[in-house]
């Protein structure tokens, strides 16, 4: 399949306009969780499969090149599909070059450090792709909505996050952040499935219901985080995630385009090595 059919026309994520932009309030309603007129699953899946093959080839040269790290952040409400997109899209990568980190409630030790301490420790080294299942953004989302820290503490964090991410970017960490956006109805269906399906019961947590009850407060917290922390060096993308096939396609395409934008090359063999290996057959 040519890249023309791998890149379906018009089906492409655009970064959130950051603050300072006059684009107004970011739309995070039910409509934004769907992509109107998206192709059918039967059209999307083969295109996604091609993107995943391309991603795998790009990771090979990315790893060999070794000059950049890639950090992919996944945020989303409960049951938005963070695990699913990591399994499907990041599953295209050779696991040797990938590092997945999940962020749950901080431990007692982590709480005694600054909030970025546990995050910085697992930022991928160059040549490696780091995948975050939740992230330092919980410190302006869960912490804000559940009132786990005073407002002046979490408010100061937007600038702190931007400065941290800028420092990483200046050190050749390429950062891409995806908000998996599901509608309230879709979340209800997913949570219901967790209740009904014995193989999914283990995923159901009462905390998820508490967070669902705070739907609007989370929407506001996401809106502010995405608008204040979508920067040139670390953009946020709102990924319409009510349909898994659309979500997977969009994330895979954005990652292919990100890696393709880098001047990646396979290192040339050293002349001395080639000379020493001259008689090898
Ligand atoms: P998941 O729900 O992603 O499968 P876990 O149940 O292990 O994973 O943990 C996620 C929970 O941890 C979420 O409710 C999230 O809000 C919470 N959490 C993550 N980071 C923080 C943080 N810095 N402060 C408070 N809560 C956090």
Atom of ligand 1 nearest to the CA of 211: 14
- Residue 3 clears pLDDT 70, i.e. is over it: no
The predicted model scores a pTM of 0.96
Which of 103, 194, 209 is the pocket-test mutation for ligand 1 (most atoms within 8 Å of CB)?
A: 103
223 occurs within a structural domain? yes
The 10s digit of each residue's pLDDT in 181-207 is: 999 999 999 999 999 999 999 999 999
What average pLDDT does range 49-59 have in this prediction? Answer: 98
23 occurs within a structural domain? no
User: With a 6 A CB cut-off, is 116 part of the ligand 1 pocket?
Assistant: no
Number of domain units in the chain? 1
In sequence order, the 6+-apart residues with CB closer than 8 A to the CB of 124 are 69, 70, 71, 99, 130, 173
Enumerate the β-bridge partners of residue 101: 132
Atom of ligand 1 nearest to the CA of 78: 2
37 occurs within a structural domain? yes
220 occurs within a structural domain? yes
Instruction: Identify the CATH number of the domain in which residue 220 sits.
Output: 3.40.50.300
26 occurs within a structural domain? no
User: With a 6 A CB cut-off, is 143 part of the ligand 1 pocket?
Assistant: yes
Atom of ligand 1 nearest to the CA of 139: 23
Least confident among 16-20, 66-70, 186-190: 16-20
- Residue 20 clears pLDDT 90, i.e. is over it: no
The 10s digit of each residue's pLDDT in 117-129 is: 999 999 999 999 9
User: With a 6 A CB cut-off, is 223 part of the ligand 1 pocket?
Assistant: no
User: With a 6 A CB cut-off, is 134 part of the ligand 1 pocket?
Assistant: yes
Which of 109, 119, 142 is the pocket-test mutation for ligand 1 (most atoms within 8 Å of CB)?
A: 142
Atom of ligand 1 nearest to the CA of 136: 23
Domain containing residue 249: 3-18+33-264
Q: Give the residue among 190, 194, 94, 175 at the shortest CA–CA distance from 135.
A: 175
25 occurs within a structural domain? no
180 occurs within a structural domain? yes
Sign for the CA dihedral angle at 162, 166, 169, 171 comes to negative
pLDDT of residue 19: 66
User: With a 6 A CB cut-off, is 104 part of the ligand 1 pocket?
Assistant: yes
User: With a 6 A CB cut-off, is 148 part of the ligand 1 pocket?
Assistant: yes
The 10s digit of each residue's pLDDT in 245-259 is: 999 999 999 999 999
CA distance 154 to 225: 11
Q: Give the residue among 181, 175, 182 at the shortest CA–CA distance from 229.
A: 175
């Amino acid at each position: 399949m040519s890249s023309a059919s791998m890149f379906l026309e018009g089906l492409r994520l655009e970064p959130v306009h950051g603050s300072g932009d006059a684009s107004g309030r970011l739309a995070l309603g039910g409509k934004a969780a769907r992509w109107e007129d998206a192709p059918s699953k039967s059209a999307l899946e083969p295109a996604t499969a091609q993107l995943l093959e391309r991603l795998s080839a790009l990771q090979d040269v990315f790893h060999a090149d070794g000059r950049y790290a890639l950090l992919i952040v996944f945020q989303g409400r409960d049951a938005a599909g963070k695990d699913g997109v990591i399994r499907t899209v990041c599953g295209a990568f050779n696991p040797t070059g990938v590092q997945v980190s999940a962020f749950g409630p901080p431990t007692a030790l982590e709480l005694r450090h600054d909030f970025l301490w546990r995050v910085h420790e697992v930022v991928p080294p160059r040549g490696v792709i780091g995948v975050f299942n939740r992230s330092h953004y919980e410190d302006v989302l869960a912490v804000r909505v559940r009132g786990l820290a005073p407002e002046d503490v979490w408010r100061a964090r937007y600038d702190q996050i931007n400065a941290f991410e800028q420092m990483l970017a200046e050190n050749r960490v390429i950062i891409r952040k995806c908000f998996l956006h599901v509608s309230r109805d879709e979340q209800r269906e997913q949570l219901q499935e967790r209740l009904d399906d014995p193989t999914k019961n283990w995923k159901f947590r009462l905390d998820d219901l508490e967070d669902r009850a705070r739907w609007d407060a989370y929407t506001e917290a996401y809106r502010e985080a995405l608008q204040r922390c979508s920067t040139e060096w670390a953009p946020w993308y709102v990924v319409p995630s009510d349909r898994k096939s659309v979500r997977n396609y969009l994330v895979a395409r954005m990652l292919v385009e990100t890696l393709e934008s880098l001047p990646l090359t396979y290192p040339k063999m050293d002349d001395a090595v080639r000379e020493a290996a001259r008689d090898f057959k």
